[in-house]
Structure 1
Amino acid sequence: MSLDVVYTISSTATGGGRDGHVKSASGRLDLDTRPPKEMGGSGEGTNPEELFSAGYAACFLGAIHAVARGEKVAVPADTTVSVTVGFGKTDTGFGINAAIAASLPGLDQAAAEALVAKAHELCPYSNATRGNIDVDLTTSV
């Protein structure tokens, strides 16, 4: 895949990874990381899955807006995207899955589903994960 890079950002993890600290080069992200209670940790910091779900949700919502602009469709102001990330053991180690729930109140169901499907093709997170993890996509209006 050829990529014409227009932006780069770097983040650094220190300490014990899941039990440590992450900081972006810009300094806008500066967080302690802790395993969630479900994984035996304190749950008092963020974790890679939480950060991934937040980034995926924001990126996917941006993709919905980009597709809508191209199709001259007005995106309802109260449109939301929630991404739930699951973490667990696999046969060879550990893995994640994702469930994307897009809500576009006021749009016709078929139109909303078409918009979300096109956003799923455009979103960089969706493209990065396609074929690598299970992603469940639902759309409500």
Structure 2
Amino acid sequence: MDALYTAAATANGREGRAVSSDGRLDLTLAFPAALGGDGKGTNPEQLFAAGYAACFASALGAVGREAKVDTRDASVTAEVGIGKDDDGGFALSVTLRVELPEELQNATGRELVERAHRFCPYSKATRGNIPVELVVE
């Protein structure tokens, strides 16, 4: 693959900072309270959730335009879970909640969501690596 764009960011752990190479992203990082931290910063799971939600919404728009279906009123919420895995480490899971406008709450809307899941780069990256559940609302 020839990259059309490359993003770069540097972090120094879950408690510290994350800064993009252009300086537009500059965040304090902290463990969430649920993992024993003070929760006074963002965390990698939130960042992944935001990126995946944005990318999936964009993919839904692309497949909608291709199908000549207006998906502008759709929204995507990504829920990223972290928990212990069988190897003693940690693993992620994702639930993508796609809220479709009333006129797309049918088989056509569900098919567009499935097509977006096949098209989205985040979905391609996670496929076969972590569980991703699609929920159409």
TM-score of the pair, normalised by structure 2: 0.95
1:11-90 mapped onto 2 (5 Å cutoff):
11-14=9-12, 17-75=13-71, 77-90=72-85
1:9 matched to 2:7? The reply is yes
In structure 2, what is the Cα distance between the partners aligned to 1:60 and 1:128? 12
SS of the counterpart of 1:74? coil
Amino acid at match of 1:131: G
State the superposition RMSD in angstroms: 0.9
Q: How far is the alpha carbon of 1:129 from its aligned partner?
A: 0.2
* Identity, % of aligned positions: 50
Aligned: 1:131 with 2:128: yes
1:9: Cα distance to partner?
Answer: 1.1
4+ residue segments displaced more than 4 Å: none
Query: What are the Cα deviations for residues 65-92 of structure 1, in whole angstroms up to 9, with x where unaligned?
Result: 00011111111x4311001010011111
Q: What per-residue deviation string (whole Å, max 9, x for no partner) do you get for residues 70-119 of structure 1?
A: 111111x4311001010011111110000001011121411110000000
Q: Unmatched 5+ residue regions in structure 2? A: none
Distance 1:138 1:91 in 2: 26
Count of aligned pairs: 135
- Structure 1: gaps of 5 or more residues: none
TM-score normalised according to structure 1 size: 0.93
How far residue 45 of structure 1 moved from its aligned partner, in angstroms, is: 0.2
